[in-house]
Amino acid sequence: MKVHYLAGVGYDSNVYLLEDEDPIVVDTGTGMYADTILEELSRIVPLKKVGRIVLTHCHYDHLGGAAEFQKATGAKVYLHEAEAIPIMAGDSSLAISGMFGQKLKQLKLEPLKTGQKLKCGSSELEVLHTPGHSPGSIVLHDKESRSAIVGDTVFCDGGVGRWDLPGGDLGQLISSLKRLGELELKNMYPGHGSYAEGDAPMHLRLAAKYIEEGY
């Protein structure tokens, strides 16, 4: 599995393409730059080959472009079950779409379960539930390569996702960070900013220190 990094512009989340026999797109940004992102993706794989779009959590800067991505690819869109039902019911508060001056678009979602395995050709990703930033935040963990796409749970500057948004919880976030620290990760791909290849533990230690010192 090869990880392609498409850096977020402005408020947009990063978008990742997991390239293998059965490619997966992770996160979609706000949708403001959907055409540009989809064009970039099409240079790597045919869009119609993408059968799954996985959202690391329900915030609008990660799912706002999902409808456009789904239309262009025909893919199914996946979100953790803790958020899939309220988002399909139009819970704009949980999606914080108003923070971006947008309305939540109607979206058909496939609920992800904790521990679910997603085959991506020769690789297998496990869905780890990492609440704290949001109720249904997830990490996609590839045990073989010691890699994880971590959404907004943790960033590569030692920062962590906000917990003061609807459904956020500092205690849960601390527990999620501890769990990530136990995975012995090598590579880490966050929802915003740069990524880490080879030195993920250092960034996780920085995040733990940030919390311990009272953020």
Summarised one tens digit per residue, pLDDT across range 6-46 is 999 999 999 999 999 999 999 999 999 999 999 999 999 99
Confidence of residue 214 (pLDDT cuts 50, 70, 90): confident
H runs (alpha helix) in the chain: 34-42, 60-63, 66-73, 81-88, 92-95, 170-181, 200-212
> Are 17 and 4 a contacting pair, CB within 8 Å?
yes
Total-model pTM: 0.97
Tell me what the mean pLDDT of segment 201-205 comes to. Answer: 94
Task: Write down the pLDDT at residue 105.
Answer: 86
User: Could you tell me what percent of the chain has a pLDDT over 70?
Assistant: 100
Give the pairing type, strands 15-19 and 24-26. Answer: antiparallel
pLDDT digits (tens, 9 = 90+) for 108-152: 999 999 999 999 988 999 999 999 999 999 999 999 999 999 999
Return the CATH number of the domain spanning residue range 2-212: 3.60.15.10
Indicate whether 98 pLDDT > 90: yes
Domain extents for the chain? 2-212
CA distance 17 to 26: 6
Q: What was the pLDDT predicted at 27?
A: 98
Mean of the per-residue pLDDT values of the chain = 96
What are 40-71's pLDDT values in tens digits?
A: 999 999 999 999 999 999 999 999 999 999 99
pLDDT (0 to 100) of residue 67: 96
Which phi and psi angles does 169 have, rounded to 5°? -155, 120
| N-terminal to C-terminal alpha carbon distance within the chain | 35
pLDDT given at position 81: 98
pLDDT digits (tens, 9 = 90+) for 174-202: 999 999 999 999 999 999 999 999 999 99
